[in-house]
A and B are shown apart, each in its own frame.
Chain A
Amino acid sequence: MTNKQTILVTGASGFIGGWIAEILHLSHSADVRAGIRNWSSGARLARFPIEIVLCDVMDKQSISRAMLGANCVVHSISGSSEAITQGTENVLEVAHAQKIGRLVHLSSTEVYGKVRGEINETSPFKSMRNEYADAKIKAEQLCWQYYRSGLPITVVRPSIVYGPFSASWTIALAQRLQSGNWGILKGYGEGICNLVYVADLVSGILLAARHEHAVGEAFNMVGPESMTWNQYFKKFNAALGLPELKVIDPADAKLRAAVTDPVRSLGKFVLKHFSAPLRTMSQRNRLARELLQYADRTLKTNPRTGDLSLYNREAVYLTTKARDILGYRPNFDVSRGLDLSVEWLRHAGLVEQLI
């Protein structure tokens, strides 16, 4: 491949897709085409003078137009399980038809399921009866089918990706820590938190997009440092300059998750079907507004049962293969990654505000 290829990034308005597009532009390493589902999600990318195109992965014509003339596709879709599976199948079909030179599919270490010990890329897929993880397994299986029919595919399996714009592991966790409701999860937070700072992951993805021996291979991508979830909470808490975390008793953590899980499901249902009347009500009635804000805060700052299971998982995802074949060398240790994340949180108004 030439150095100045045109790379289409699908899901470019998302956390990782956005970073890929931004880094490609800032490093001038390729002409980037940022594919987004609709214009409403274009604000972050439009800060850069890059080509932004509509690319709805549920619409093959839209994909086809977006992919035209691209040498490489980085498929970085998230969202519903249907978007992950059907969307991936659509992208693969169009890429195959257009004879794309390389397709990098962003999978996840979640495809390995609830595992223990050291996990390399030969470990089998295992369903956790989790919609997201199952969709990622199905999407990856589709990738390998298309690889066998001649599409040059590389799969990247990131773990816990944090950094600026990360909704789950940076923004939501910062909110939890700031709430004073979060703490050291005794009995639950001693699993391994396989962190990778987003810029390290993107560097790895770009290596995978270019390396000739990466075709037909999958690569785990994790950061340079191993720590437990409780250690991550402590470090993040310190980086935010917050008072020391309290210790949460295992029974308390389990109870909080058990109580809030059904409320969360109900809340999702209500929001999906009654968002307009709720908004009107909160504009008209202060008590309703405060109650809604309280419920939202409570749900966001308590662990889910699924979180507790993740925080307990004692799996280490090995990156030996990425290091040996691609020369993958993650640079950002957790302290540095967190410092940058906290600087970004302040800039984004998520830690400090004018009023």
Chain B
Amino acid sequence: MPRKSSISSQSIASTGRSPRIALIGCGAIAEGYYMPALARHRRILESMLLVDHNFSRARHLAARFRIKQCFADHRAVLDTVDGAIIALPTPLHHSISLEFLSRRIPVLCEKPLADSTAKALEMIELAHKMEVALAANYQQRLWPQFVKVKELILDRSLGEPVRIKYQAGDKFTWPTVSGFQFNSAGGRHGILLDRGAHVLDHICWWLGDKPKLIVSQNDSFGGIDAVAYARFEHNKCVGEVKLSWLSNYPGRFLVEFELGSIQGEIYYPQSVLLKMGAGPQKRVKLKTETYKTLGHRMVDNFIDVIVGRETPLVPATSVLDSIKLTDDCYAAATRFHMPWYSIFEAINDQ
């Protein structure tokens, strides 16, 4: 169970002061997402600390958002903060989060929570043991098109889900500063850990369980996966996922139920196509906010978690199934048939 309060939250509540938050990692996600959300809270900003191993990045953000203190080493802030946001390259989520959690400091960790089930479990178990909140920034859980699917599954108005199709094709254009996804220093992690973190999380969250993996394929030649495919099943439901960083095609999902279907677009939260029974497919408007305000909700929630007013919107325990499924996909993956490369591999084999 996620903890609603920690020792530090009790002391903050008793003094009435704003929590002191450390943002660990000052790359693109920190600059484009966390800082604009945090900057809406003047008192938080006044006491905030920025940390980046690349100190010039920390200074850059500090100057831009008028933050007084920045550091090159997270250890300098371990004993002085009430909450930590971990916006580091994925391979560092585990070790750095553990250091804060072991001091009973609540953590909001960027997605994916960890790059393996074992690491994620260790983080979750430590948070549980220390009775401190560990939140995961899977903010797409708040997007109305995905929430609508969850509602339909829960209220059973269309019966059981029988088929899920999910595709996401976006050329990788994220302005990554460290390049950890692609350079050997970062351990290299592909689309399944990145974009797949959201997609596989949606599927596990919708189904309330980890589906059984049937097929997993990707295009890795010993490096990252930039295109990945998975087929899975769960009770009556079968599903397919295809993800690509190399080409652009519409990001969509389709969930077919015994008595209807819902189809939506990843980047269009305004409406979905709903089919009920034998009736025609209809566009249904959704009550929505902008992506920016949805993102702000995640950060605001974490501030409330630190002071003990709320539980995390997405507790780390709730994303564990998707991390297990990611592990399953990588373990079972075979390479796509790619004949355009075969001739050169044949040269190598001779």
Contacts and interface: CB of A to CB of B under 8 A. Distances in A.
Interface in B221-274: 221-227, 240, 242, 244-247, 249-250, 252-254, 263, 267-271
A46 B226 contact: yes
B223 A48 contact: yes
A350 B290 CA distance: 29
A284 B176 CA distance: 27
Contacts, number: 137
A45 B222 CA distance: 11
A60 interface: no
Contact of B183 (A47, A52, A280, A285): A52
Interface in A181-206: 199
Contacts of A40: 172-176
Contact of B223 (A46, A286, A353): A46
Interface in B317-344: 336, 338-341, 343-344
Contacts of B250: 353, 355
Nearest to A331: B343
A348 B339 contact: no
B34 interface: no
Contacts of B339: 340, 343
Interface in A308-355: 340-341, 343-344, 347-350, 353-355
A22 interface: yes
A167 B182 CA distance: 23
Contact of B167 (A39, A343, A355): A355
Contacts of B175: 38, 40
Interface residues of A, number: 44
A344 B344 CA distance: 16
B224 A47 contact: yes
Given A40-B175, A283-B290, A46 B270 contact: no
A26 B227 contact: no
Contacts of B246: 43-44, 165, 348
Nearest to B241: A354
Interface in A152-168: 163-165
A27 B182 CA distance: 22
A42 interface: yes
24 contacts: A22-B341, A39-B181, A39-B182, A42-B172, A43-B182, A43-B191, A43-B246, A44-B226, A44-B246, A45-B223, A47-B190, A47-B219, A51-B184, A163-B340, A283-B267, A283-B269, A283-B290, A284-B290, A347-B227, A347-B336, A354-B166, A354-B242, A355-B250, A355-B263
Given A26-B341, A347-B336, A354-B242, 9 more contacts: A39-B178, A43-B224, A43-B245, A44-B226, A46-B183, A284-B290, A348-B169, A349-B169, A353-B167
Interface of A: 22-23, 25-28, 38-52, 54, 163-165, 171, 199, 280, 283-286, 289, 340-341, 343-344, 347-350, 353-355
